[in-house]
């Protein structure tokens, strides 16, 4: 290495050499959500790290699903619903002026409690459904590749490769849910929101979906709402506990389930209420 | 008690059976190839057909569908999407009133609006009158069918980045399409035999005409005209016309059934 090159290198910032702090992808600041007069989410602030799985737990009606639906601006589709506060994704407030909810939802995918395949579409068309509304709609050939990749990522390709053109309603419940995950992944979102994705599935399908979530963390930031604490413990890096619309505690999952710092968290995870 | 209900069920379909038997007996012999392909002949001459009436009825059905389906489906979609607004409540109530309106009133109204100002009867006026009758039927079935589409599908589409109107058209409407087609076919079957709205609008025509601006023949009108004449040949033709009209309605209803069945078997 020549002297010039060495001196040039010396002037570069040295930060990358040290272990960099994991970058924050989503910064949520003082988020409040309402249904009419009901205050469902109360002043939640939390930073979420890129490429991690965050589990959101809490008793029924604690506002965890509403919190999730604020992150892709689905909450406001309900009549009478309202959101205040900031959700900064990649440096931009998704509730900022001039940002359309449609654009937000293309970056933040979502899978619901019950599988929602579009019944009039084939398996292939279901996966490609999000591509159809893309501003730069991919060509037919690109679409085939994207569909295959999304189905592989959702661990469904081998089961459906021979019947891509058949109706999606012919699949089992677990397959339909993985199809919905593939559909959400096809548009390459930065964040994937899962709202109790295994609530309607049998144990074997649940296990498949959990394995899938665990693998997805290398490519996408996942936030999963779940009623099942074993599930939270199995799939997530950090866990957030909600109670009465407030975020009580957020911590690395292992610590959360072994030594929570808040008494209410401990009561909930040891099963004293909820 | 069960026996009485059984009897009531049989009685309910008895009129249809009797009508079909009667029509076959009196009109069956006059239904032949010529009936579909030839024009009416003067009284006293054997043979001839109602080609003009059959084609006229099909044209009128086409015009009424072109008028009634877009308005009906659009209004139904609006009612389902904005179900609680005061406009929706009003439209829903008025559609039900319109559905119960005597068809002769619709005919007079169409005459006042579309015939009187231009001083001549026309196929267009007849089709518009029938189309106006279709609107409330199609509106209400469209609304019902769209409301059957689960909210979760709508949410799934929105969450994928579909805009509101795109969700309505390419997900909700497409999912409800089977039911809407069935509703449209049932409405067509209902108006295919309407006579009263055509009396002052399409008028009827003894000659071959496919012009939308001129009076046009229609099976129900032709049946009416022929049935009240003293000529045996024409009366037989009237029966044959009635039989063909019933057959057309039957075929449309059957198509509606097939669409419905396919819709339900396409599901799980």
Asked whether residue A274 is domain-assigned, the answer is: no
Instruction: With CB atoms and an 8 Å threshold, state whether B175 touches A118.
Output: yes
Asked whether residue A197 is domain-assigned, the answer is: yes
Q: Is B2 on the interface with A (CB under 8 A)?
A: no
Taking all residues of chain A, what is their mean pLDDT, rounded to a whole number? 89
Q: Is A135 on the interface with B (CB under 8 A)?
A: no
Instruction: With CB atoms and an 8 Å threshold, state whether B171 touches A118.
Output: yes
The CA–CA distances, whole Å, from B209 to B51, B191, B202 equal 10, 21, 11
Query: Contacts of residue B162 in chain A, CB cutoff 8 Å?
Result: 102, 133
- Residue with the two structure tokens 């039911």: B179
Asked whether residue A214 is domain-assigned, the answer is: yes
Instruction: With CB atoms and an 8 Å threshold, state whether B160 touches A180.
Output: no
Instruction: With CB atoms and an 8 Å threshold, state whether A116 touches B152.
Output: yes
Q: Write the CATH number for A246.
A: 3.40.50.300
Asked whether residue A38 is domain-assigned, the answer is: yes
**Which of A105, A118, A119 is opposite residue B158, by nearest beta carbon?**
A105
**In Å, how far is B263's CA from the nearest CA of chain A?**
10
**Which tokens hold the place of A165?**
């053109």
Residue pLDDT, tens place only, A195-239: 999 998 899 989 999 999 998 988 999 999 999 999 999 999 999
Q: What is the pTM of this model?
A: 0.80
* Residue A7: predicted pLDDT: 47
Number of domains in chain A: 1
Please count the CA atoms within 13 angstroms of the CA of A118 that sit on its side-chain side. Answer: 29
Q: What is the ipTM of this complex?
A: 0.86
DSSP conformation class of B30: G
Residue pLDDT, tens place only, B224-249: 999 999 988 889 899 999 999 999 99
Asked whether residue A31 is domain-assigned, the answer is: yes
At B167 the three-state DSSP class reads helix
Mean pLDDT, to the nearest integer, of B119-127? 94
Strand partners, A5: none
- For residue B237, what is the enclosing H or E element? helix B232-266
Query: Residue A184's closest chain B neighbor by CA?
Result: B160
Query: Contacts of residue A169 in chain B, CB cutoff 8 Å?
Result: 266-268
CB atoms within 10 A of CB B45: 10
- pLDDT for A15 beyond 60: no
Instruction: With CB atoms and an 8 Å threshold, state whether A187 touches B161.
Output: yes
Asked whether residue A106 is domain-assigned, the answer is: yes
Query: Contacts of residue B157 in chain A, CB cutoff 8 Å?
Result: 118, 129
The CA–CA distances, whole Å, from A186 to A83, B106, B157, B172 equal 28, 53, 14, 21
* Residue B263: predicted pLDDT: 61
Q: Is B156 on the interface with A (CB under 8 A)?
A: yes
Asked whether residue A248 is domain-assigned, the answer is: yes
Mean pLDDT, to the nearest integer, of B12-23? 93
Domain residues for A191?
A: 23-269
> Domains, chain B, ranges and CATH?
70-218 (1.10.3720.10)
Asked whether residue A18 is domain-assigned, the answer is: no
Query: Contacts of residue B158 in chain A, CB cutoff 8 Å?
Result: 74, 77, 105
**In Å, how far is B87's CA from the nearest CA of chain A?**
17
* Residue B152: predicted pLDDT: 93
Please count the CA atoms within 13 angstroms of the CA of B175 that sit on its side-chain side. Answer: 25
**Which of B161, B174, B267 is opposite residue A102, by nearest beta carbon?**
B161
Query: Contacts of residue B175 in chain A, CB cutoff 8 Å?
Result: 118-120
Residue pLDDT, tens place only, A23-71: 888 999 999 999 999 999 999 999 999 999 999 999 998 999 999 999 9
The full DSSP string for A148-199 is HHHHHHTT-HHHHGGGTTSBGGGS-HHHHHHHHHHHHHHT--SEEEEESTTT
**In Å, how far is B255's CA from the nearest CA of chain A?**
20
CB A64 within 8 A of CB A225: yes
CB A177 within 8 A of CB A197: yes
Angle (CA) B80 B83 B84, round 5°? 175
**Which tokens hold the place of A170?**
């012919």
Please count the CA atoms within 13 angstroms of the CA of B70 that sit on its side-chain side. Answer: 5
Instruction: With CB atoms and an 8 Å threshold, state whether B161 touches A74.
Output: no
* Residue B30: predicted pLDDT: 86
């Amino acid at each position: 290495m020549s002297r010039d090159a060495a001196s040039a290198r010396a002037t570069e910032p040295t930060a990358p050499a040290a272990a960099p702090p994991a970058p924050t992808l989503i910064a949520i600041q003082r988020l409040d959500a309402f249904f009419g007069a009901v205050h469902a989410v109360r002043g939640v602030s939390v930073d979420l790290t890129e490429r991690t799985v965050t589990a959101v737990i809490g008793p029924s009606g604690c506002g965890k699903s509403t919190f999730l639906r604020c992150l892709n601006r689905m909450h406001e589709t309900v009549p009478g619903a309202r959101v205040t506060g900031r959700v900064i994704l990649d440096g931009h407030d998704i509730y900022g002026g001039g940002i359309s909810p449609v654009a937000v939802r293309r970056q933040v995918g979502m899978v619901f409690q019950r599988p929602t395949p579009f019944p009039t579409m084939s398996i292939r068309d279901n996966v490609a459904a999000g591509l159809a509304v893309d501003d730069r709609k991919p060509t037919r050939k690109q679409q085939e590749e994207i569909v295959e990749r999304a189905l592989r990522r959702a661990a469904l390709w081998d089961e459906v490769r021979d019947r891509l053109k058949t109706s999606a309603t012919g699949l089992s419940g677990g397959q339909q849910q993985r199809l919905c995950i593939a559909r959400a992944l096809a548009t390459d979102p930065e964040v994937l929101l899962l709202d109790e994705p295994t609530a309607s599935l049998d144990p074997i399908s649940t296990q498949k979906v959990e394995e899938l979530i665990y693998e997805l963390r290398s490519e996408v930031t996942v936030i999963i709402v779940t009623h099942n604490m074993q599930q939270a413990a199995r799939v997530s890096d950090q866990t957030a506990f909600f109670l009465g619309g407030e975020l009580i505690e957020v911590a690395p999952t292992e610590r959360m389930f072994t030594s929570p710092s808040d008494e209410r968290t401990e009561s909930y995870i040891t099963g004293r209420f909820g | 008690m069960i026996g009485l209900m059984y009897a009531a069920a049989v009685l309910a379909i008895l009129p249809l059976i009797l009508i079909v038997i009667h029509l076959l007996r009196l009109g069956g012999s006059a239904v032949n190839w010529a009936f579909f392909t030839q024009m009416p002949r003067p009284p006293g001459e054997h043979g001839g057909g109602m080609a003009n009436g059959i084609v006229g009825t099909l044209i009128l059905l086409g015009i009424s569908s072109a008028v009634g389906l877009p308005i009906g489906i659009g209004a139904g979609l609006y009612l389902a999407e904005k179900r609680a607004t005061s406009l929706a409540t009003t439209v829903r109530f008025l559609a039900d009133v319109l559905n119960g309106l005597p068809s002769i009133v619709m005919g007079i109204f169409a005459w006042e609006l579309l015939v009187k100002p231009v001083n001549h009867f026309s196929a267009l006026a007849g089709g518009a009158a029938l189309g106006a009758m279709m609107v409330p039927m199609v509106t209400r079935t469209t609304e019902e069918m769209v409301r059957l589409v689960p909210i979760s599908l709508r949410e799934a589409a929105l969450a994928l980045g579909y805009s509101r109107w795109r969700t309505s058209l390419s997900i909700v409407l497409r999912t409800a399409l089977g039911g809407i087609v069935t509703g449209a076919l049932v409405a067509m079957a209902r108006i295919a035999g309407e006579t009263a709205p055509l009396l002052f609008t399409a008028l009827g025509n003894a000659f071959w005409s496919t012009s939308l601006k001129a009076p046009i023949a229609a099976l129900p009108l032709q049946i009416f005209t022929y049935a009240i004449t003293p000529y045996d040949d024409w009366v037989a033709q009237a029966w044959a016309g009635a039989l063909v009209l019933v057959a057309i309605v039957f075929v449309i209803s059957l198509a509606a059934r097939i669409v419905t069945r396919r819709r339900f078997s396409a599901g799980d």
